[in-house]
Structures are given as C-alpha cells and as structure tokens.
Structure 1
Amino acid sequence: MKASTPTDLGRELVRFFEEFLPGQRGLSPNTVRSHRDAMLLLLQFASADAKRPIERLQVSDFTTERVAAFLNHLEVDRGNSIATRNARLGAIHVFARFLASRRPEALGTLQRVIALPYKRGAREVPVEYLERIEIDAVLKSIDRSSALGRRDYVLFALMFNTGARVQEALDLRRRDVRLDSPPQIRLTGKGNKVRLCPIWPVTVKLLRAFIDELPVPEGDPADALLFTNARGRPLTRFGVRYLLRRYVAAASQEVPSMRDKSIHPHSLRHSTAIALLKAGVDFATISQWLGHAGLNTTMRYARADIDLKRQAISQVFPDALTPPRGGRFQPDGSDLVGWLRRM
C-alpha cells in the first residue's frame, strides 16, 4: 500500500520538533514535549473543526479564528486555567513565528496569530497534592501480583520519594540508580541539569527486587531504561497519567477526600514538597531536591498547605489555638499523531 503524501503542515511540524526546537532553540526534551502537547491538542481541535483527519490539515488551516476558538475551547470545554491557556498560546506563538520564516505566503495570517494576546487575570493555580493517607490508598490500590502492577508500584513510590518530574522518572536508566550506601538516584531535569536524590531504605528494597525481576536487556545493561511498557518500549507521560487516574479512582472508594481533587502525575511531586515542608526541611534544600530554578517556585508550597498555615497561626496566637493539656517519524503523513505522542 502506497504511503500518503505528507501535507505542508505535516512537513513543517517535523522540522519544528526535530530541528528547530532542539537544535536552533536549544530547548530541553521536557520543554519540547510541552510544546508537543500544545500542538497535539490544537491539531485535534482543528481536525474536528475542519472535519478532516489531522493528516490532511494544511498550513492554511492554521487561522487566527481557529486558534482563538481553540483557546476558548481550552477554558470552556476542557476547564483549563488561564495560566494553562496562556502556556498553550505561548507554544502556538513559537510555532507561528517558525512558520512565518518559512511560509511568507501565509505571513499575514500568521502575524495575526502571533498578535493573539495572553489573557490577563491569571491567578496562581492551587497546588493539588496528596496527603499521606491518600498516598497510601493509591499505592494499596495497585495489584502487585503482576509484573506490570509491581512496575507501577515502584514507579509511583519512587516519584513520591524523590519528587521527580514524570519525564525525569521515565528517563531513568539502570546506571542512574545506586542501591549501595549511600543509596541515591541521578535525575536529569530541565535544561539537562543533573541532580542526585537520596532514596529511603524501603525504596531501595523495592528497586532491588524490581531490577532483579527485569528481563536481561540487549546491549549494555546499564543503558537499559528502568520503566517500560508490556512490549518493552518506553513508557509515555500519557500512559503514566492514565495509570495514575485509574489508581486514584480506585483509591477514592476508600478515601473519599480524593474525589474532589484533580490529581495528575505532577501532583506526586507537589506531595513530596509538602511532606518535606511539614517535616521541617528548609526551602533551600527542598529547592535543590526538586531541581527548582529558584526559591520563588518552592515558596508556593508554603502558601498551599493549610496545615502549615495553622502552624503559623498557632505561633502567633498560641493561647487561642493550643488546646488544654491532657489530651523519528518518517514524514509520509500517515501517523502524525502517533509520532507526536511518541516524542
């Protein structure tokens, strides 16, 4: 069967993600994936709006009206915050500028897309995190009688232990894990910055048993990815989100407080930060632990946790609150979405 001819939009998307973002812009893999997510959502919306498959969309379908409708769709239909809407628009602006340099015949339309404004009034997004009882419920909901269940258990336990971003955890290879004293893992974060995170003795036992169970990889075992799917391929962020959503739904039957929370893989990272704060760890250490660029990012966790606020109030008004003593895609146009998802 002859492969379909790629559209001009398909060819430009390949150049954008394979050459422009990582090469000319020098963006990290995680940032490239963030742009990928925004463009994938836009393509899906444009396909439905134009009533054509994604593989048949053209650069001419990238109109100001359609992008504006997409931004409204994010807020109204998907319930995204203004901050998320603005982040998606930022990725679209970058792609529009890239197209403008290559498609001068579409310059007028692309300039109007670039001129679409960010929305004001973006408030700090509430930090969604899991309390200790909720984390326990999620882990207990995982069936560890199967190899995949044991993989999921180790993955989520490790993410909570380290506060790793989901892609940082998925990029882990066996060489990044040290189980001898002092036990630690090596994470590669934004901007390819490397940091070391200590791991608990119980996490060491989980990882040792998990690695011993893994099949013998081809080539150098140290280069083998730690977490793969049933076919031995790398797990994706989409896959981890799906798994966590399933386990959270099951755990919510036992812990109803989780039902009103919008939990996603990054919530485990938030949970780690809150737990460290409650344990009395200073902001500078937490910032380094999580790989934050600065303390301002870490400080939002102090604003997020109600228990910390109660502690602050009790220090100011102790008498009032203290109780009495006593108690690479081949651009043939046939699988553009699949290629984007695999990035």
Structure 2
Amino acid sequence: MSYSKNKVTSIQTLIQNFFLERLIQQRGVTSRTIESYRDTFKIYIKYLQEMFNISVENIDISDFSQDKVLLFLKYLEENRNNKPITLNNRLSVIHTFMKYVAEQAPEYSNIAKKTIMIPFKKQETKIIEYISKEEFKAMINQSDDSTYLGLRDKVMLMILYNTGIRVSELISLNWKSFKEIENNKSTYLFVTGKGRKERTLPLWKSTTELVKEYVHTYQLQNKTTIFINKNNSALTRSGVRFRIEKLLLMASHECPSLLEKNISVHTFRHSVAMNLLQAGVDISTIAIWLGHNSIETTHKYMVADLEIKRKAVEKAGIIDNSVSKYKPSNDLLEFLSKL
C-alpha cells in the first residue's frame, strides 16, 4: 500500500489502517482491546496538542519518535501518577503500532525502530494475595439466599471461586453457558475469553446445584445474562466490584484477616490458581484453565507458592535454603472516538 506525502493523510491512513486492517481484520481482537488501543492514541494525541501545541491536523509520524514517546511516558508517570503497569501498557500499544509502521511504510523505519527500542519499565514484584477457604466461607455466609440479590451474589461468589473466570466473562454468562455432560454426569462452564478463545471448566456439584436453583427460581433461562441488577439490567463490571467490596466488609467482622489483604474481583483468579497449584495440578493445565496466552503469565503463581512456603518455614524457625463495524473517517479524533 502506498501512502500520500501529505502529512494528514499519511498519519490518518497509518493509524486508521492499523485499527481496521491489523487489529480488527487480521488479528480479530476484542472490543476491549480496541478500547485500550484507542485510549492510548487519544491520550497521546491530546498530550502532543497540549505540550507541543501540535494540532491533530499537523501530527506527523515523526511525532512518534523515541524522544517524544519517552517524554510522554515521563509525563504519564509524573503528571498523571501512572504506575509501571499502565506505562508498560501504553508503551506496548505504541510498540505494536510502530512495528506496523515499519512494515507498511519503510520510509519511516528508522524512526519506528528507535521507538520500538524503548524498554519497558521494571515493575515491582508483589506477593500474590489469595482468598483462603475460611475467608471465602465468611464471604459466602454474608449472602442471604432467601432474597434475589443474596442468591445472585452467592452464585457469583461460587462461580468466581470455583472457576477463576474474569469479571468480563462472568457478566456475560447465560444459561446456555452451563452444559451437562451425560457420560460423567458433570456440569461444565463454557467460557469465551480474551482473543475469543473458548475454554471449558468443570463445576463443583455445589456450584451446579446453586446455579440451577437461582436460574429456575427467577426464570433466567432466556435472559442474555443470568446476572441482573435491581433495575432489571445486566450487571456491570463496576456492579460486581461494588457487591464484592460490600460482602468483603461484612465478612471482615467474621474473618478479620480479610482486612489485611487488598482483595479485588481479580483476586479470585489468583485464589483458583493457588488452590490448583497446591492441589498438585501442573502449571500448563492451570494456564489453560485460566485462559493465559503464555505459561510465563502463570509462572508467577508457582513463585508465589514457593514464597508462601518459605515464609511458613521461617515462621516455624526452620532454615531451609531449597525452597467490522468500524469505518475510516477524515477526522482522526472522530475516528478514534467511534471505536
């Protein structure tokens, strides 16, 4: 594909084709990934406008140079208090775009290669927190299953602690997501995760019985999602977070150790991974269970498990050293806003 020498056409063509061709058509990324990439571009364009007085019409590919991107990352860290994980996410988007630029517009390859060389910021390694069985029981005890909200929350907790699915996957579940396998009389949860990858997860008998009671009691068989809020709309990600935080606060009176942990919805994924690891399940199976693209992502749980064991040994006083609806637009910002 050839690009016009006109600055506006060139940058708009590169960015829009990056979204339309590379991300959507070729890679088939999810809407959440599109939103993440879109937000990075919008923030960067706004940064160029405010800090360099460059209007969107005059943005050139040279504005994605190594020097300017480094200044942008410094701005995010110092002015917006972005953490390393956010900085690395923004940089990853720019890296991916510049690789596309080098491939599609070789005349810009020198600029692209230098920008791609910007290293990711080192992230502080934190001990992975997870919810113990006693703490989970305390949370479950706070749900009054004689009411709709109470039973819904209990089902939500059981599915999260049983499967470790992502919150985006949780709120997308409907009755068809649950299927009984006649051969072994077990129920499995069918989930579509990141990158539209499908995986099948076994459910505990207690989880299955609770889901059936909930769905049949409140006639949710034909709903687009089984998790409905009090306004009869689909429960949102923020709605799940709100309910979990409320249950945590209530459960902390029964189990004070919950107050010592920074627990979020994502902690349930950590909990499932740690439970599987400590039960002897191999790391490759855990990676498939959680829907990780790389086993390296799952490896952190093995490191966390070893650290927990090391601290237990120290506490015991033992020394052990072994341990496509999108369309192009002439206005770049308008195009990004519609993604």
TM class by smaller structure: 0.5 to 0.7
Task: Call closer, same or farther: CA 1:12–1:135 in 2, change over 3 Å.
Answer: farther
The secondary structure found in structure 1 opposite 2:186 is coil
CA deviation profile, 1:252-308 (whole Å, cap 9, x unmatched) = 565454445443332211111112233343434434433345654433212213543
Quote the Cα distance in structure 2 between the aligned partners of 1:336 and 1:214. Answer: 40
Which amino acid in 2 is paired with 1:20? Answer: R
Q: Is the 8 A contact 1:137 1:251 kept in 2?
A: yes
Equivalent residues in 2 for 1:135-146, closer than 5 Å: 135-141=136-142
Residue among 201, 208, 217 paired with 2:205: 201
- Number of the residue aligned with 2:83: 80
The secondary structure found in structure 2 opposite 1:164 is coil
The secondary structure found in structure 1 opposite 2:92 is helix
CA deviation profile, 1:149-180 (whole Å, cap 9, x unmatched) = 54343223202101223333334332220257
Quote the Cα distance in structure 1 between the aligned partners of 2:75 and 2:255. Answer: 32
Which amino acid in 2 is paired with 1:291? Answer: G
Which amino acid in 1 is paired with 2:191? Answer: L
Q: Is the 8 A contact 1:63 1:109 kept in 2?
A: no
Q: How far is the alpha carbon of 1:242 from its aligned partner?
A: 4.9
Equivalent residues in 2 for 1:72-221, closer than 5 Å: 72=74, 75=77, 77-78=80-81, 80-81=83-84, 83-95=85-97, 111=112, 114-115=115-116, 117-122=118-123, 124-141=125-142, 147-179=148-180, 181-212=185-216, 213-215=218-220, 217=222
Quote the Cα distance in structure 2 between the aligned partners of 1:335 and 1:236. Answer: 26
The runs of 5 or more residues in structure 2 that have no matched partner are 1-7
Q: Is the 8 A contact 1:97 1:110 kept in 2?
A: no
Q: How far is the alpha carbon of 1:230 from its aligned partner?
A: 5.6
Task: Call closer, same or farther: CA 1:100–1:163 in 2, change over 3 Å.
Answer: same
Give yes or no for the alignment of 1:40 onto 2:48.
no
CA deviation profile, 1:70-100 (whole Å, cap 9, x unmatched) = 534654554523x542233112333456678
Bigger relative contact order (CA 8 A; separation at least 6)? 1
CA deviation profile, 1:137-157 (whole Å, cap 9, x unmatched) = 444455656545543432232
Q: Is the 8 A contact 2:273 2:301 kept in 1?
A: yes
Q: Is the 8 A contact 2:101 2:109 kept in 1?
A: no
Quote the Cα distance in structure 2 between the aligned partners of 1:139 and 1:171. Answer: 22
Quote the Cα distance in structure 1 between the aligned partners of 2:115 and 2:315. Answer: 50
Q: How far is the alpha carbon of 1:124 from its aligned partner?
A: 4.4
234-243 vs 182-191, greater mean Cα deviation: 234-243
Quote the Cα distance in structure 2 between the aligned partners of 1:87 and 1:112. Answer: 18
- TM-score, structure 1 length as denominator? 0.65
Task: Call closer, same or farther: CA 1:145–1:273 in 2, change over 3 Å.
Answer: same
Identity in percent: 29
